[in-house]
Amino acid sequence: MKTRLYMPTDLEVVLKLFYDNVHSVCINDYAKEQLDAWAPQDPDIYRWEASLNKNHTLVVEEDGKIIGFGNVGETGYLDRLYVSHEYLHQGVASLILEQLEKYVRAKGIAFINTAASITSKPFFEAKGFIELSEQTVERRGVRLRRYLMEKKL
């Protein structure tokens, strides 16, 4: 596995990985309507491009294929962390999180925080994050439950 910085040419693969991850990995925790609202077939490409380019975004490759990605902003907010369903439980998410935490520490930020899904909450708890609050957010008119979590670095 190799970690590298995201490049704009990765966008199409990253969007597909995101869609596939949400619709396969989170299927037991969210209804189809919720999955479609969270990861629609027709994402806002301009919003994704802006976010991926603005934040510190990493991808992980295996044999030249992107198998995971994640990003963190200048304030220490971990916006995204997704791994191909074919590569779950192989250390990909841990590798990305470790690299993003290093980046945040180097910026002098003492905490990293995220809004974790029902599905990802146990992963973040295992990595030392604590739940600050449960939230309900709306995406495309559909309500989704998530958890605001934080880790002291």
Interval 19-69: pLDDT, tens: 999 999 999 999 999 999 999 999 999 999 999 999 999 999 999 999 999
| pLDDT for the residue 37 | 97
Residue 118 falls inside a structural domain: no
Task: Give the CATH number for residue 79.
Answer: 3.40.630.30
Whether 153 is in a domain gets the answer: no
Residue 44 to residue 88: CA distance in whole angstroms: 26
Find tokens 């939230």 and name the residue. 135
Closest by Cα among 114, 124, 123 to 72: 114
- pTM, rounded to two decimals: 0.95
| Domain count of the fold of the chain | 1
Over residues 80-90, the mean pLDDT reads 97
SS3 73: coil
